[in-house]
Amino acid sequence: MTSHPDLYAIVPAGGAGTRLWPLSRAGAPKFLHDLTGSGRSLLQTTVDRLTPLGRGVVVVTGERHVEAVRAQLPGLAPRDLLAEPSPRDSTAAIGLAAAVLAERHGDPVVGSFAADQVIDAGPGFAEAVRQGVVAARAGHVVTIGIAATGPSTAFGYVRSGVSLGLPDAPDARVAAGFTEKPDAETAAEYLATGEYRWNAGIFLVRAQVLLGHLERLLPQLHTGLREIAAAWDTPRRADVLERVWPGLQRIAIDHAVAEPVAAEGGVAVVPGDFAWDDVGDFASLAGLLPAGADDVRVLGPRDAVLAVDAERPLVAASSGRLVAVLGLPDAVVVDTPDAVLVTTRDHAQGVKGVVDALRAAGREDLL
Amino acid sequence: MTSHPDLYAIVPAGGAGTRLWPLSRAGAPKFLHDLTGSGRSLLQTTVDRLTPLGRGVVVVTGERHVEAVRAQLPGLAPRDLLAEPSPRDSTAAIGLAAAVLAERHGDPVVGSFAADQVIDAGPGFAEAVRQGVVAARAGHVVTIGIAATGPSTAFGYVRSGVSLGLPDAPDARVAAGFTEKPDAETAAEYLATGEYRWNAGIFLVRAQVLLGHLERLLPQLHTGLREIAAAWDTPRRADVLERVWPGLQRIAIDHAVAEPVAAEGGVAVVPGDFAWDDVGDFASLAGLLPAGADDVRVLGPRDAVLAVDAERPLVAASSGRLVAVLGLPDAVVVDTPDAVLVTTRDHAQGVKGVVDALRAAGREDLL
């Protein structure tokens, strides 16, 4: 039943989802929410999607969210839920999971899949993972390059180079480099070349290959992670964590591994031809929800929303109250028990400014 | 201390204030709300304004609102609160009060002042009432014509004719006629003549003069009101009300008295040069609230509202939740415990459509 018996999925469950406030909160971040009306949270659908593909799934999250994650994933074995004492960015989170899996299983392929993305779990996703596993087994750090649906300025891009020539992964190519989020003109130029895809932050790599890169590039972080991993399944875990974890370097895995290794020619890219969305803001969320006959998009009970002369409103209704929208184009209304946000799709990226203003006003209770 | 010892003020406290939904509800209509942030409801400020001017104030309201009115007006004598068994429009409400006052006091001047208007209770108002009382004593039905601040299409107009020639009411003129709400072009033409003022529905008239007009124009209604009034301060009140009230004609006092009597030359108009607003919708409400330095207008606690890149928002915050508005010009957000309305000032008149849609959807619980 398992497609790849040597694959373990790592699911980093972190990230505040600030641009989805007031739905997403520090205490109940984005990945814990059902943002598509499917009845399952982003975390749950991520695990649902990965479970059939590999030998196991390991979730890494902050101690604050352990109980909520456990409640949402009753099928997850306790030892496959790794709790971080404090946030130390993605290299520490993914590196910890890889090091623990290396202790337990030797040298499996590990794949890192964020808990807060929406992905169509169809054949396209399975095929990308399949070719990615093949390329990872061959020693590459493999990223899945998402087929861009437009010249987005919200994502970084990965550029494809020459073919790796792997018979079982015919579409795998050398990653010729990563870019930061471009401006619109640059993004359009990227797409015109046919060589660029979105970097979704999905990586597949053999555990020992990843740890080898870390040993070479960030030896202190590597030593710390190895020490913690060796103690993880022993009574010494808490002591070692308390001593070592706070000193680990905070660095994103793109900067720590993907970019420097790509510069050496060690990163591969396999094409991901499946629907993907990072649900980065409410404009993105609106695109994921089905539109009713009246072009009203609702997250929550449909009968909680009344739209009159309103064009394309998005309403997230989670307070039990009625939300009436009258005559506003592209309105976004997010109704929660203690806060309501009113804006438009055009201002979706600006929601971070609201959160910043609340923090400045000392309203931590609402964050 | 009383300016006019023969004046009794009648305050009809009715009207749903539909365009102020969800603030104004069937169970807690507009007049019971503090809509200016003064700390007093429109009903309370109406009574506050009238009390120093006359001998007494009589409030007429529906049975459903008697308790709320009593709670808001602890100083009102029980016999000065008249409860209507069911809504029978303004002629029945005002006619009942006039007939009861005629039973009690003979032939006082009665003045009808709606409970849901905002009026600046300064010298301008006192002077208009003073001249109105003089003209009423002389036998006229007197309306106060409000100085228009612009060519509004939301109000009817009254046209001033020749002077009445009353030495103590030098500005009182014959009312040359009433108009329905005009279109914008017509309204501008009205104002250009200098002869037109807004009809605020404020009337002063001797009780017996009013009842005489009713006897002549609507004899059946007059007989019913007289019969009820004769029984009002007796043990027979409930019996007579139950028998007679349901058969009373439903007609607005403008149509029943003001217009036909004006056609006969029996209506006078005195100028009302004071700030007046009927708070007919949220655009009107926005104009009544003080603007903060950031041009945010808030009805409710100021710290319940966070506006970021928002131009001139109006927020009515009565649920205790935070309302965040991001980047919408002229947004109107009305937050109540069981419903939130999101619209713009331009759509203020359309709020009635939301209420109609709710009724059609069977959501009487929210009306």
Which one of A309, A315, A322, A336 makes the best mutation probe of the B interface by having the most chain B beta carbons within 10 Å? A322
Residues 6+ positions from B263 with CB-CB distance below 8 Å: B177
For chain B, the average pLDDT equals 95
Alpha helices in B122-217 (DSSP H): 123-137, 184-193, 207-217
**Tokens (6 digits) for B37:** 């942030």
Calpha distance A203→A252 (Å, rounded): 13
Instruction: Look at A337 and B321 and tell me if their CB atoms are within 8 Å.
Output: yes
Q: d(Cα A200, Cα A195) in Å, to the nearest integer?
A: 16
Q: For residue A66, what is the enclosing H or E element? A: helix A66-72
Find all residues with CB under 8 Å of B275, minimum gap 6, and list them: B118, B119, B120
Tell me the backbone φ, ψ of residue A115, rounded to 5 degrees. -80, -5
3-state helix, strand, coil in chain B (%, to 5): 40, 25, 35
Separation of alpha carbons A13 and A69, rounded Å? 9
A302 is written with which tokens? 């449909």
Residue type at B302? R
Q: Which of A335, A344, A366 is the closest to B340 by Cβ? A: A335
B326 vs A: CB within 8 A? yes
- Cα distance between residue A104 and residue A60, in whole Å: 16
- The answer to whether residue A67 neighbours chain B at the CB level (below 8 Å) is no
pTM for the whole structure: 0.88
Q: Which of chain A's residues have a Cβ under 8 Å away from the Cβ of B303? A: 361
Average confidence (pLDDT) over B306-328:
93
Yes or no, beta carbons of A361 and B22 under 8 Å apart: no
Q: State the pLDDT at residue B15.
A: 82
Q: Is B214 on the interface with A (CB under 8 A)?
A: no
Of B340, B354, B361, nearest to A321 by CB-CB distance is B340
The token duo for B4 is: 């006019």
Cα separation of A25 and B186, whole Å?
A: 54
Dist. CA B97–CA A134, nearest whole Å? 91
Q: Residue A73: which of A38, A42, A99, A116 has the closest Cα?
A: A42
Report the candidate in B120, B133, B117 with the shortest Cα–Cα distance to residue B55.
Answer: B133
Is pLDDT larger for residue B294 or for residue B64? B64
DSSP A255: I
Q: Residue written as tokens 């184009």?
A: A329
Q: Indicate where chain A has its CATH 3.90.550.10 domain(s).
A: 7-277
> Coil, strand or helix: which one is B44?
helix
pLDDT of residue A209: 98
Pairing mode, if any, of strands A157-163 and A322-326? unpaired
d(CA B274, CA B122): 8
Q: What pLDDT, on the 0 to 100 scale, is given for residue A198?
A: 96
Q: Quote the CA–CA distance of B110 and B206 in Å, as a whole number.
A: 6
A68 CA: distance to closest CA in chain B (Å): 25
Residues B347, A326: C-beta atoms closer than 8 Å: yes
Map tokens 């308790």 to a residue.
Answer: B67
Res A42: pLDDT: 97
List A residues 265-324 in contact with B (Cβ-Cβ < 8 A). 303, 306, 308-309, 321-324
Phi first, then psi, for residue B209 (nearest 5°) are -65, -45
pLDDT digits (tens, 9 = 90+) for B207-218: 999 999 999 999
> What gap in Å lies between CA A247 and CA A338, rounded to an integer?
37
Residues of B in contact with A340 (CB under 8 A): 321-324, 333, 335, 340
**For residue A15, what pLDDT is reported?**
82
pLDDT class of B117 with cuts at 50, 70, 90: very high
Nearest CA in chain A to B339: A322
Measured CA distances, A126 to A55, A129, A188, B179, B303 (Å): 14, 5, 28, 74, 51
Residue A141 near residue A48 (C-beta atoms within 8 A):
no
The answer, for B22 touching chain A at a CB cutoff of 8 Å, is yes
In this prediction, residue B224 carries a pLDDT of: 97
Q: How far is CA B339 from CA A161, B315, B317, in A?
A: 56, 14, 11
The answer to whether the Cβ–Cβ distance between B22 and A324 falls below 8 Å is yes
A364 touches chain B (CB under 8 A): no
B22 to chain A nearest CA, in Å? Answer: 9
Does the CB of A361 have a partner CB in chain B at under 8 Å? yes
Token pair in block for residue A56: 């196991």
Nearest CB to A342 within list B325, B337, B351:
B325
**Is omega for the bond preceding B219 within 30 degrees of 0, making it cis?**
no
| A/B interface, count of CB pairs below 8 Å | 120
Interchain proximity A341–B326, CB inside 8 Å: yes
Peptide bond into B22 cis (omega under 30): yes
In angstroms, rounded to a whole number, what is the distance separating the alpha carbons of residues A34 and A207? Answer: 31
Nearest-Cα distance to chain A for B340, in Å, is: 5
Cβ pair B284, B153 in contact under 8 A: no
- Predicted confidence at residue B1, as pLDDT, reads 52
CB contact under 8 A, A340 and B346: no
What is the fold of A7-277? Answer: Spore Coat Polysaccharide Biosynthesis Protein SpsA; Chain A (3.90.550)
Pairwise CA distance, residues B274 & B125, whole Å: 6
Please state, in angstroms and as integers, the Cα–Cα distance from residue A244 to each residue in A13, A64, A221, A271, following that order. 21, 19, 10, 38
Buried b (16+ CB within 10 A) or exposed e, A203-219: bbbbbbbbbebbeeebe
Q: Is A350 in the B-facing interface, judged by CB distances under 8 Å?
A: yes
pLDDT at B2: 66
- Chain B interface, mutation test: which of A342, A344, A364, most B Cβ atoms within 10 Å? A342
- Of B147, B72, B158, the closest CA to residue B115 belongs to B72
pLDDT tens digits for A287-328? 899 887 778 999 999 999 999 999 899 999 988 999 999 998
User: How far apart (Å, rounded) are the C-alpha atoms in residues B355 and B366?
Assistant: 9
B358 contacts chain A (CB < 8 A): yes
Q: Which residues are CB-contacts of B158 (< 8 A; sequence separation ≥ 6)?
A: B143, B145, B175, B177, B178, B179, B196, B197, B198, B199, B269
Q: Is A354 on the interface with B (CB under 8 A)?
A: yes
Q: What are phi and psi of B205, to 5 degrees?
A: -165, 150
pLDDT tens figures, B52-72? 999 999 999 999 999 999 999
Instruction: Write out residues in chain A with pLDDT < 50, as ranges.
Output: none
**Chain A contact set for B308 (CB, 8 A):** 350, 353-354, 357
Whether B363 contacts chain A with CB within 8 A: yes
Query: pLDDT tier at B187 (50, 70, 90 boundaries)?
Result: very high
- The answer to whether A323 contacts B308, with C-beta atoms less than 8 Å apart, is no
A281, A294, A308: best to mutate for the B interface, most B CBs within 10 A: A308
Q: Provide the ipTM.
A: 0.87
Name residue A327's amino acid. G
Can you give the pLDDT at residue B180?
87
CA distance A289 to chain B (A): 21
- What distance in Å separates the CA atoms of residue A144 and residue A132, rounded to the nearest whole number? 7
> Angle A19-B282-B339 (CA atoms, 0-180°, nearest 5)?
55
Q: Please list every residue in chain A whose beta carbon sits closer than 8 Å to the beta carbon of residue B328.
A: 328, 331, 342-344, 347
Q: Which residues of B touch A312 (CB under 8 A)?
A: none
B342 at the A interface (CB within 8 A)? yes
Whether A196 and A181 have beta carbons less than 8 Å apart is answered as no
Contact A300, A318 (CB under 8 A): yes
With vertex at residue B214, the alpha carbon angle to CA B210 and CA B216, rounded to the nearest 5 degrees, is 120
State the pLDDT at residue A294. Answer: 77
pLDDT of residue A162: 97
Share of chain B above pLDDT 70, in %: 99
Residues of A in contact with B344 (CB under 8 A): 327-328
